Amino acid sequence: MEALLTVNKLGKSFKDKQIISDISFEVRKGEIMAILGPNGAGKSTTIRNIMGIMYPDEGSITFTNSTGKDIPRHKIGYLPEERGLYKNVKVMDILLYLAELKDYPQAKAKQRALDYLKKFDLEGKEKVSVEELSKGMGQKVQFIASILHEPELLILDEPFSGLDPVSQELFKQEIKELAEKGTAILLSSHQMNLVEEMANRLFMIHRGQKVIYGSMEEVKTTYANFKCTIRGINNLEILQTIPEVLRIEQQEDISVLYLEQAVQPTLWLKQLPNELVVHELTMDRVSLHEIFIDIATDKNMLKETGEVYA
Partner 1 sequence: MRNTMKVAKWEIKRNLKNKTFLIGLFLTPVLIIGFMLLGSLFGDDPADTEQETTRVFVNDQLGVFPELQESVNQNKLPWDLLQTDLTEKEVAAEAELSENTAYIFIDERAMQEGNVPVYLSEEIPPFFSNELQLLSSPLQTMQMEELGITEKQLAVISKGFHFNEQSPGENINTTSTEEETSLGENPIEDLAPGAFAGFIMLSIVFTGMAIFQSASQEKKDKIAEIILSSLTPAELMQGKIIGYFVLGLIQAVVSITLLFPFLLWKIDLPIIEYIFVPELILLLVIAILGFLLFASLFVGIGATMADITTAGNFQGMVMMLPFLPFIFIGPVISDPTGLMAQIGTYIPFTSPGVLLLRLTIMEEWPWVEIVISLAILIVSVWLAMKLAGKIFKVGILMYGKNATPGEIWKWIRA
Nearer to partner 1, 65 or 221 (CB): 65
Question: Is there binding between residue 89 and partner 1 (CB under 8 A)?
Answer: yes
Distance of CA 241 to the CA centre of its chain: 38
Question: Is there binding between residue 145 and partner 1 (CB under 8 A)?
Answer: yes
Nearer to partner 1, 89 or 170 (CB): 89
- Which of 16, 67, 69, 88 is in the footprint of partner 1 by CB under 8 A? 88
Question: Is there binding between residue 128 and partner 1 (CB under 8 A)?
Answer: no
**Range 44-69 burial, b when 16+ CB lie within 10 A, else e:** bbbbbbbbeebebeebebebbebeee
CA pair distance 226, 210, nearest whole angstrom? 24
- Which of 1, 53, 233, 278 is in the footprint of partner 1 by CB under 8 A? 53
Contacts with partner 1 by CB under 8 A: the residue count is 27
CA pair distance 5, 76, nearest whole angstrom? 11
As a residue count, the chain comes to 310
Which residue, 146, 120, 122, 144, is CA-closest to 132? 122
Question: Is there binding between residue 243 and partner 1 (CB under 8 A)?
Answer: no
Question: Is there binding between residue 225 and partner 1 (CB under 8 A)?
Answer: no
Contact indicator for 72, 28 with CB cutoff of 8 Å: no
Q: Which stretch binds partner 1 (CB under 8 A): 45-53, 59-67, 187-195, 258-266?
A: 45-53
CA pair distance 74, 71, nearest whole angstrom? 9
- Which of 68, 84, 124, 243 is in the footprint of partner 1 by CB under 8 A? 84
Range 61-80, binding partner 1 (CB under 8 A): 73-74, 76, 78-80
- Which of 3, 51, 272, 276 is in the footprint of partner 1 by CB under 8 A? 51
Question: Is there binding between residue 86 and partner 1 (CB under 8 A)?
Answer: yes
Nearer to partner 1, 15 or 181 (CB): 15
Question: Is there binding between residue 142 and partner 1 (CB under 8 A)?
Answer: yes
Cβ burial of 12 (10 Å; 0-12, 13-18, 19+) is: buried
Contact indicator for 192, 34 with CB cutoff of 8 Å: no
CA pair distance 204, 160, nearest whole angstrom? 18
Residues forming contacts to partner 1 in the complex (CB under 8 A) are 48, 51, 53, 73-74, 76, 78-80, 82-90, 93, 97-98, 100-102, 142, 145-146
